Copies of this chain bind each other. A is one copy, B any other.
Amino acid sequence: MAKPPKNAISPTRSENYPEWYQQVVKAADLAENSDVRGCMVIKPWGYAIWENIQRKLDVMFKATGHENAYFPLFIPMSFLEKEAEHVEGFAKECAVVTHHRLEPDPDGGLRPAASAELEEPLIVRPTSETIIGATFARWLNSYRDLPILINQWANVVRWELRTRMFLRTTEFLWQEGHTVHATEAEAIEETRLMLDVYAEFAEGTMAMPVIKGEKTEGERFPGAVATYSIEAMMQDRKALQAGTSHFLGQNFAKAQEIKFQDQSGQEVYAWTTSWGVSTRLIGGLIMTHSDDDGLVLPPKLAPAQVVILPIYRDDEQRSEVLQYCESLKADLTAERFDDEPVRVRIDDRDLRGGEKKWQWVKRGVPLRVEVGPRDVAAGKVFVARREIGGKGEPAERNAFVAGVAQLLSECQQTLFDRAFKAREEVTVSIDSLAEFEKYFTPKNADKQELHGGFAYCHFIDGPEMEAKLKELKVTARCVPLDGEEEPGKCIFTGQPSKRRGVFAKAY
């Protein structure tokens, strides 16, 4: 076997974190830039992770009473105009369809046909509150029709200036939930329920610890009364907003006439919510767990949880080893982990053993199993865990099979515990502005020493805070929901404050 390089990914995280990220995406075959500015191609290994995310979330959405549906990709321009804050938020970064035909141009190429200009331009959906709201207005007549609990899996487009694969792309894939309720209380309950679903998914399935909280005014979704988010901490001490749930009050209901007859026969406006997570989650997954050898996948989301690498020198050995591997695969697949059969692949490609091994390391497969003729003779296997690294160790074949689900659970737990510990290590409470400034200022910019992570601080939302945050390039992430009231003073203004917010540099 080839001598492994010092690290499979160059540069390492400490050398250049943003470039390390791009190299992990590449080395793990997750995605690549496309010929269209800001749009990526999601390659099979990356897309399989997204399919697993979708499948797991979809079960949770349906268990909480939601149904999937599909709404148009296009939104008439006039729809955007209806909700004042919403148009502010999205008009500046949207793809606009103006023609419905191309025609030959004089140079032998093509051009939009002037005779096929649309009377009203169409926007490629950046989010679907307006087009779905218009539909709900048609569906809703009486209180008996409520609640309306809908989810859509779709692509959306936001014309971003600076893009980065998975984290911020012009087109991305997501789900958007849209619901309508009879009362304010029910709509708030829904908003919080879906935030809980996201947090449970992030922690339980992605092994990514998150803080649930409410956004400050400046970070609210355009048109929302309140925005809640889950916030995760990446290894470079930057926060990532990983999912949002919005209580829209009656803003969209009033803009779009989403009304119903209540039990007393009176016509009243409904209360709506929306909530979404996107392919951005894959960016968070990468930056939470991966190391200098590439991607590290939590078993619950890994397209393959076990990869089996047969090792042999000649045809005779090959037949014997492969037979052993096939039977091993069959037995492993019969075991269940996270309510599904264990996902196993045999890699018998004609590649050097070292190259093959390192491909799977870089792709983050939780368990790598090597099988050679001696293992066959002894009824053994050689097992390496991706998340703890190292060469691995031999195991009895049958014991390995019987314990595989337990082992995958341990890998999953290790990842969560490690990420949790890493977050706690870069989380502090801060009570003075001087300390705050110091915390977010790298001590030695040349050596790329890092700024701090999460800072819990008393604050009063307002222009003083906004100005200071802008100066330091720090953001208010959220006001944690599990935070307790305590008397304190805003570090920006000295005014009395009852709760701490959490602040961080962020993606």
* A31-39, A285-293, A408-416 - the one binding chain B: A31-39
User: Given A72-B171, A78-B109, does the pair A67, B44 have CB atoms closer than 8 Å?
Assistant: yes
- Number of A interface residues in the complex (CB < 8 A): 62
Bound-state CA distance A103–B90 (Å) is: 11
* A118-126, A219-227, A268-276, A486-494 - the one binding chain B: A118-126
Q: Is the CB of B81 within 8 A of A96?
A: no
User: Given A93-B100, A99-B98, does the pair A51, B80 have CB atoms closer than 8 Å?
Assistant: no
Q: Is the CB of A96 within 8 A of B112?
A: yes
Bound-state CA distance A236–B94 (Å) is: 44
Interface residues in A68-106 (C-beta closer than 8 Å to B): 68-81, 87, 91-103
At the interface, yes or no: A436 with Cβ under 8 Å from chain B? no
Residues on B with beta carbons closer than 8 Å to the beta carbon of A131: 34-36
At the interface, yes or no: A150 with Cβ under 8 Å from chain B? yes
At the interface, yes or no: A472 with Cβ under 8 Å from chain B? no
Residues on B with beta carbons closer than 8 Å to the beta carbon of A159: 100-101
- Chain B proximity of A40: nearest CB distance (Å): 8
At the interface, yes or no: A47 with Cβ under 8 Å from chain B? yes
Copies of the chain in the assembly? 2
Q: Is the CB of B47 within 8 A of A69?
A: yes
Q: Within the complex, which residue of B47, B72, B98, B111 is in contact with A36, where a contact is CB–CB below 8 Å?
A: B72
Q: Is the CB of A48 within 8 A of B68?
A: yes
Residues on B with beta carbons closer than 8 Å to the beta carbon of A123: 102
User: Given A47-B69, A92-B102, does the pair A74, B112 have CB atoms closer than 8 Å?
Assistant: no
Q: Is the CB of A80 within 8 A of B101?
A: no
Interface residues in A2-35 (C-beta closer than 8 Å to B): 32, 34-35
Q: Within the complex, which residue of B69, B93, B102, B155 is in contact with A42, where a contact is CB–CB below 8 Å?
A: B69
Interface digits, A172-198 against B, CB 8 Å rule (1 contact, 0 not)? 010000000000000000000000000
Binding site for B on A (CB under 8 A): 32, 34-36, 39-44, 47-48, 50-51, 67-81, 87, 91-103, 109-112, 121-124, 131, 134-135, 138, 150, 154-155, 157, 159, 171, 173
